[in-house]
Amino acid sequence: MEENLRDSGIDIIGDVPWGTHFCQLYQTKGDLMEILLPYFKAGLENNEFCIWVTSEPLDVEEIKGTLRRNIPDFDAYLENGQIEIIPYIQGYLKNGVLDFKKVLSGWVEKTSQSLAIGYDGLRFSGNSFWLETHWEDFVCYEEEVDSIIGKYRIIALCTYSLDKCNVTGIADIVSNHQFILAKKEGKWERIENSGRKRAEEAEIKLKETLENLEEKVKERTAELEEAYNSLLENERSLSEAQKIAHIGNWEWDFTNNKAHWSDEMYNIVGLSPQKFGLSYNKFLNYVHSDDRDYLNNAIKKALNGKPFGIDYRILTDEAERIVHAQGEVIFDEKRTPVRMRGTVQDITERKIAEEALERMEKIRIKEIHHRIKNNLQVISSLLSLEAERFSDAKMLEALRESQNRVASMALIHEELYEGDKIDTFDFAAYLRKLASDLFSSYNLGNDGISLKLDLEQAYLGMDTAIPLGIIVNELISNSLKHAFPAGSEGEIYISLWKTETFADKHETYCPGSYCMEKDDFQYILKVSDNGKGIPEEIDFENSDSLGLQLVNILVEQIDGCIKLKRNNGTEFTIRFRNVGE
């Protein structure tokens, strides 16, 4: 047949001649459409008759909708009969039976008809997802397609689900196609059938030496040995690939209670390859005792039809290893388990690397907190130096308030730097330090003012803690400055409780209408004093005071709510949630 190159529509392939027979190994619906959409688009645009035989995971209407959105004038192609999209039942089966000779003769007839009405040839694709009991017949069909396709103006792309293929199935697929499309690290790659190429080269050489057959017998024998060695090489390549990836595969036949392991499975467990794999009970001896129940439960779920993917530890003579295992159970038509298959991959080095990266990231973030704390302390020191230049009481007070605000933020970064976690810290411990520092900062010379704390441990993130720290700073500062006239005694009280804990302690407590529209608060913070109280004429939500303005702005920022009570002093109650949870 003449060498007439056609646009495949697939970038990694480019132009191909008539008689090309290749396959795609896919995992997802998206994988299928990435290849088949441009493949058929090129066929339609280049005057080729197109047939798409589909099965799960794509149905006919879904395909039509996708092609309609991506191919201009698709409905015209469909109306003119240039493309047929049919389910596998029509394309491959007759009364539930796969007769590959009839199927193949049907494609040849379709090709002749398409040429007769003016098309350049036939572009075809069929999906094998439906295969369960017809695998051997379908392999024969693929072999027959591969043997005769070079005689016709046909391009055929066969698609196979990796989830449906075992190692033997993949070997069958590879041997019956000129090349394979498969994804590696998110990119499509074209994998040539090296054994096929060598066989074709051997055939050409054989034809050239027919005139001197006796002289070339030894050469022919060598070629046959080369073909055999090629098959062995394919097996070795698969074994080498498993070794490189530290991944082994296994299969357990329930009917005869025998297991098959790949060589890498034995290597992972630290054993020499054997003819038969270990029994399940013997394999459990290599599983860490703390992980055996975990693995058993995964196996039980698989026997109920749920595939598993888990990590667990195994013990070899050399060390403890971490593996990732995947497995599934194969059922017969009566839903009886007949065999189980899966893979085991040694991920020890990956886990070690991930843990090292986590430690490095933790150190890096803590170093950032340390530097921010140092920078804030520098700012606080600069404010202190600036205060020495002024004698005006209001200016000095403003500088001290700013210094305290900066210090409240610096203290948060100090807690994050010194704590065990990188993004949360114990806010109760922080409040103790903050209150103590504020008492020292104001240095009232009045021992009659005491501090009472009632704090429940609460781990908060920075987005909540920094605004809340400034709020507490402002409220304690207000109490220390204004609540107690010179020489008077009193108490400043701070409490922090989780909402459910507070409700248990105050059974009759009601949040009030001001917070009724928000019922998912996690924490309640109270800052109060028994001083002279805020005058009734001051509206704290619309105050001219910068401190109270900050309080209201920051409460809104953390999506909380605040209430003021003026009985027997001043009491601010703030309800909030930990932002980000």
Report the C-alpha gap between 81 and 110 in whole angstroms.
Answer: 12
pLDDT at 106: 85
Least trusted range by pLDDT, from 26-35, 139-148, 259-268:
139-148
| Residue 409 and residue 437 in contact, taking contact as beta carbons nearer than 8 Å | no
| Residue 454 and residue 486 in contact, taking contact as beta carbons nearer than 8 Å | no
% of the chain beyond a pLDDT of 90: 24
| Residue 194 and residue 230 in contact, taking contact as beta carbons nearer than 8 Å | yes
Average of per-residue pLDDT across 264-292: 82
- The model's pLDDT over 178-190, given as tens digits with 9 standing for 90+, comes to 899 998 888 999 9
pLDDT at 47: 94
Q: Which residues of 257-297 form beta strands (DSSP E)?
A: 258-261
CA 444 from chain centre, in angstroms, equals 57
| Residue 387 and residue 399 in contact, taking contact as beta carbons nearer than 8 Å | yes
Q: Exposed, middle or buried, 410 (CB in 10 Å: 0-12/13-18/19+)?
A: buried
The mean predicted confidence, pLDDT, of the chain is 80
| Confidence check: pLDDT of 402 > 60 | yes
Average of per-residue pLDDT across 291-310: 90
- In the numeric block, which tokens belong to residue 141? 């069909």
Least trusted range by pLDDT, from 41-50, 143-152, 224-233:
224-233
Q: Which residues contact 500 (CB under 8 A, 6 or more apart)?
A: none
Which letter, b or e, does each residue of 157-166 get, where b requires 16 or more Cβ atoms within 10 Å of its Cβ? bbbbbeeebe
| Confidence check: pLDDT of 285 > 90 | no
pLDDT at 502: 61
SS3 content of the chain, % helix, strand, coil (to 5): 50, 25, 25
Report the C-alpha gap between 7 and 44 in whole angstroms.
Answer: 11
pLDDT at 203: 56
Position 569: which residue type? Answer: G
Position 323: which residue type? Answer: V
Average of per-residue pLDDT across 461-487: 84
pLDDT at 269: 82
| Confidence check: pLDDT of 508 > 50 | no
pLDDT at 214: 57
Report the C-alpha gap between 39 and 26 in whole angstroms.
Answer: 15
Cα distance between the two ends of the chain: 68
Task: For the chain, give every domain's residue range.
Answer: 5-192, 247-346, 353-421, 423-581
pTM for the model: 0.42
Angle in degrees, CA 241, 245, 246, rounded to 5: 110
Q: Tell me which fold the domain 423-581 belongs to.
A: Heat Shock Protein 90 (3.30.565)
Report the C-alpha gap between 378 and 192 in whole angstroms.
Answer: 65
Give the count of beta carbons closer than 10 Å to the beta carbon of residue 307.
13
Element (H, E) at 187: strand 187-192
pLDDT at 3: 54
- The model's pLDDT over 59-96, given as tens digits with 9 standing for 90+, comes to 899 999 999 999 999 999 999 999 999 988 887 777 77
Question: How far, CA to CA in Å, does 219 sit from each of 208, 215, 412?
Answer: 12, 8, 82
pLDDT at 84: 93
Q: Which residue has the tokens 């024998």?
A: 221
Report the C-alpha gap between 190 and 254 in whole angstroms.
Answer: 37
pLDDT higher at 105 or 174:
105
- In the numeric block, which tokens belong to residue 405? 């605000």
Residue 13 — very low, low, confident or very high, per pLDDT cuts 50/70/90?
very high
Q: For residue 36, which of 23, 49, 19 has the smallest C-alpha distance?
A: 23
Domain boundaries 247-346, CATH class: alpha beta
| Residue 472 and residue 478 in contact, taking contact as beta carbons nearer than 8 Å | no
Give, as one character, the DSSP assignment of residue 277. P
- The model's pLDDT over 107-161, given as tens digits with 9 standing for 90+, comes to 889 999 999 999 999 999 988 776 655 567 677 777 877 778 888 899 999 888 8
Report the C-alpha gap between 421 and 398 in whole angstroms.
Answer: 34
Position 341: which residue type? Answer: R
Angle in degrees, CA 566, 572, 578, rounded to 5: 165
Report the C-alpha gap between 422 and 250 in whole angstroms.
Answer: 42
pLDDT at 257: 83
Domain boundaries 5-192, CATH class: alpha beta
Q: Which residue has the tokens 């290849």?
A: 35
Least trusted range by pLDDT, from 16-25, 376-385, 492-501, 506-515:
506-515
| Confidence check: pLDDT of 28 > 70 | yes
Q: Which residue has the tokens 């920094």?
A: 466
- In the numeric block, which tokens belong to residue 480? 């220390």
- The model's pLDDT over 532-547, given as tens digits with 9 standing for 90+, comes to 888 888 888 888 778 8
HSE-up (13 A, CA, CB side) for residue 286: 20
